[in-house]
Amino acid sequence: MLRECKRTLRIGARKSLLSRIQVSLVAKSLANLWPQLNFIFSFHDSFGDKNPELLFWNKNSSSSPVFSEEAGVFSTALSRLLLSNKLDILVHSFKDLPIKDLSSEKISQETEFVPVLDRGDQRDILLMKREVLVSPPTEVIILASAPRRILLAGNFLKQALPSTLQKSKLVFNPIRGNVPSRLKKLNNSEAHGIILAKAGLDRLLIKPSSLFFDPTLLQSSELKQNQKEIYKIIKNYEFMILPLSSVPNAAAQGSIALEIKNRDLELKSLIKPLCVPDNTITSLKEREELYKRSGGCYDKIGIAVLERDYGRLYFIKGRDNTGKKISHKKIKNKVDAINVKAKLWPLKGEGIVIKRHPISSALPKYPPQYCLVSRSNAWPDKWKPKSSLVNCASLLHRIIFARRRHSIIWTAGTKTLFALAKQGLWVHGSADGLGEDEAPQLNYILKKTSENTLKNTLRFTKLSHQDNLLQSAHPCLPSYKIELIALLPLIGTTPLSSRTHFFWKSASQFNWMLKKYPDLANAKHACGPGLTRKVIQETINLEPKIYLDYQSYLEEMLEEMQ
């Protein structure tokens, strides 16, 4: 029986600490499943590790040679060790593996990649020195390691950084090396910020109890010392998690993949329980989409696929290898074909008139520690920056500000993020319009790792209107009240009673309309993936169709009618 298998597995990977942590996660899972297994660990430098000064994506640079195995600079040499029977398993970061077959047909035919374990956070993270917020420079220098990040993050940050920094020129400088060395380079340089894969940073800060320790693999003292150094560096930095709709990840970023020989059937059986369906689906779909458009992991394309209970989300953005602009977002989800455009509601010129009135008297003097902001006007005027941070009264006050971590601000969508940034606020990230159930996943960066999981969440206070008090799963602090006062004129002569398909932009609008027109309970409903979905489900016991936003709904429905 497999559980009694006493096989010794020879596991290989790169030498970096992050790579060894990933091996440790895999070994821990295998040891829990098959206690009789023994392990021998072997670590090696790849071509990319031996040539840290090369920028593999810059084919026009005289310092960057074009070589036949460019796509596999972190994996090809290890694959040869596997094929020569010196190793049984290779543990990779899936995003480092080539999309196209390697130059050697033997390698691509005799080995296969298997994504395993839960996928880490797919997103990128920006770390920015707080002193930049106090004294904005004319140029903000950001270290980044890939053309995708430079293109997509560059466009996003022009609107996402606080207004005091939006006047500064963004300059991106290349950087190579493992995460700890990149952080040290940043800390000791004149650069102001850095963009990293958040999954890598999270794993470097993982709780020791989640890992397998062995003198030839990883020691607890080494891990704790490394974590201490990382936290020491980042304590003077602000962070921003870059939303996938604006800065989609590199294909399979955050996923760990095992490379094994096709003919090793026993090993396939041993690792099969490590496979997580969501990780397998999303990682492979992203690689498939990248191959369709380009095929190279150093191209300017970000591809994020998310698996949710309401559908599969795609965020694809960047430029392909011909320079053509790509911008695509969609939920793969069946729609009901309809023949008459006028059966949709709302169409252009239709909707509900809403007035919003601020509430300030009952609000505390300072915002809560963790704030989830539903829309830009939910952030009260009394909490907005009174003046430019550059005009702090004294050097002492500026130093205090630079070292203090203020409230963590998280927004419901990117529009709200941009609006708050325009008001001078530093926003730490966004639920990306996917609903308040989307976990921010901030425990590791904030040193709040009370549980051994990458996905445990913090308790946020939601800033919204009074009606959300009973609807939201979060504790709610009402900062404004809404007044729904009128229905805008309908187009043409088609009455509301003849409409069959409705899209709701908020739960309040749905409740208000249902009260006025009870027959709407029998119509077809659609909305975004957030709180409105939950309210419709509970109110009329119906699962609405889910779209990323109203524009996506309208385009898809009209396309279906054609």
CATH number at residue 417: 3.40.50
Burial degree of 108 (CB within 10 A; 0-12, 13-18, 19+): middle
Left, alpha or beta for 351 (phi > 0: left; psi -120 to 50: alpha)?
left
Return mean pLDDT, the chain: 85
Specify whether 111 is located in the same domain as 259.
yes
Specify whether 448 is located in the same domain as 545.
no
Tell me the CATH number at 102. Answer: 3.40.190.10
- Residue 154 counted as domain residue: no
Q: How far apart are CA 36 and CA 39, in angstroms?
A: 10
Note the pLDDT tens digit of each residue in 22-61: 999 999 999 999 999 999 999 988 655 555 555 544 444 4
- Residue 546 counted as domain residue: yes
Burial degree of 55 (CB within 10 A; 0-12, 13-18, 19+): middle
Q: How far apart are CA 368 and CA 389, in angstroms?
A: 21
Inform me whether the pLDDT recorded for 375 exceeds 50.
Answer: yes
Range of the domain at 418: 355-482
Average pLDDT over residues 128-143: 93
Number of domains in the chain: 3
The pLDDT value recorded for residue 398 is 46
Dihedrals φ, ψ of 49, to 5°? -70, -35
Percent of all residues in the chain with a pLDDT value above 70, rounded to a whole number: 83
The pLDDT value recorded for residue 201 is 97
Structure-model confidence comparison of residues 562 and 294, the more confident one:
294
Which amino acid makes up residue 31?
A
pTM of the predicted structure, to 2 decimals:
0.89
- Residue 166 counted as domain residue: no
Q: How far apart are CA 505 and CA 548, in angstroms?
A: 11
CA angle 545–420–325, rounded 5-degree value: 60
- Among residues 466, 482, 498, which one ends one of the domains? 482
- Residue 155 counted as domain residue: no
- Among residues 462, 482, 502, which one ends one of the domains? 482
Give just the sign of the alpha carbon dihedral 199, 201, 206, 208: positive
- Residue 306 counted as domain residue: no
Inform me whether the pLDDT recorded for 68 exceeds 70.
Answer: no
The pLDDT value recorded for residue 409 is 95
- Residue 410 counted as domain residue: yes
Specify whether 425 is located in the same domain as 346.
no
Specify whether 381 is located in the same domain as 478.
yes
Burial degree of 62 (CB within 10 A; 0-12, 13-18, 19+): exposed
Note the pLDDT tens digit of each residue in 159-174: 999 999 999 999 999 9
- Among residues 439, 458, 482, which one ends one of the domains? 482
- Cα separations (Å) of 237 from 126, 191, 552? 9, 12, 37
Confidence class for position 393, pLDDT limits 50, 70, 90: very low
Structure-model confidence comparison of residues 3 and 80, the more confident one:
80
Of the candidates 356, 304, 331, the one whose C-alpha atom is nearest the C-alpha of residue 527 is 331
Confidence class for position 338, pLDDT limits 50, 70, 90: low
Specify whether 346 is located in the same domain as 495.
yes
- Residue 359 counted as domain residue: yes
Do the Cβ atoms of 19 and 13 come closer than 8 Å? Answer: yes
Confidence class for position 125, pLDDT limits 50, 70, 90: very high
Do the Cβ atoms of 149 and 301 come closer than 8 Å? Answer: no
Note the pLDDT tens digit of each residue in 251-264: 999 999 999 999 99
Note the pLDDT tens digit of each residue in 237-286: 999 999 999 999 999 999 999 999 999 999 999 999 999 999 999 999 99
Of the candidate ranges 226-235, 368-377, 402-411, 530-539, the one whose mean pLDDT is the lowest? 402-411
Q: How far apart are CA 375 and CA 372, in angstroms?
A: 9
What is the DSSP secondary structure assignment for residue 218, as one 8-state letter?
B
Specify whether 460 is located in the same domain as 498.
no
Specify whether 418 is located in the same domain as 532.
no
Note the pLDDT tens digit of each residue in 505-519: 999 999 999 999 999
Q: How far apart are CA 107 and CA 109, in angstroms?
A: 6
Inform me whether the pLDDT recorded for 67 exceeds 50.
Answer: no
Specify whether 428 is located in the same domain as 509.
no
Of the candidates 192, 196, 193, 216, the one whose C-alpha atom is nearest the C-alpha of residue 204 is 196
Residues in a beta bridge with 320: none
- Residue 296 counted as domain residue: no
Do the Cβ atoms of 548 and 329 come closer than 8 Å? Answer: yes
Structure-model confidence comparison of residues 348 and 389, the more confident one:
348
**DSSP letters of 92-151?**
EEGGGS-SSPPS-HHHHHHEEEEEES-----SEEEEEETHHHHS--SEEEEEESSHHHHH
Average pLDDT over residues 527-543: 93
Specify whether 436 is located in the same domain as 518.
no
Specify whether 381 is located in the same domain as 412.
yes
The pLDDT value recorded for residue 361 is 73
* Paired tokens of 106: 């033997």
Average pLDDT over residues 372-391: 78
Specify whether 104 is located in the same domain as 35.
yes
What is the DSSP secondary structure assignment for residue 489, as one 8-state letter?
P
Specify whether 543 is located in the same domain as 507.
yes
CA angle 164–247–235, rounded 5-degree value: 55
